[in-house]
Amino acid sequence: MIQTLMKLLGLGPKVSYKELVKDGAVIIDVRTKAEYQQGHVKGSINIPLNNLSNHYAKLRKDKPVITCCASGMRSGQAKNILKANGFPDVYNGGSWITLQRKIG
């Protein structure tokens, strides 16, 4: 119970996005195509949030998934959607600009 509460509050162990990417994580940018074209994390895949459910079959459940967007709101929704649909290892990377800095 305490661990669940800590996780909900973001007080758990820190995630190394750089290590996740090094270990083969897939980065999904859930912004619109137009937003994505204005700038994105190198190597990321653009799947707009409202289109995510059409792409489950193209994503591997045995690899970590990192979601990102403009601020972290849509990527948080995408994380929850993916988790609810059987993707066990999903992380909200937040803003694509911040995520880009974190992974180098």
Catalytic residues: 69
SS3 69: strand
Going edge to edge, which strands form the sheet with 90-95?
45-46, 26-29, 65-69, 90-95
Give phi and psi for 51, each to the nearest 5: -115, 0
Tell me the C-alpha distance between 16 and 27, whole Å: 14
Distances (CA, A) of 81 to 14, 53, 67: 22, 8, 11
Helical H runs in 48-95?
A: 73-84
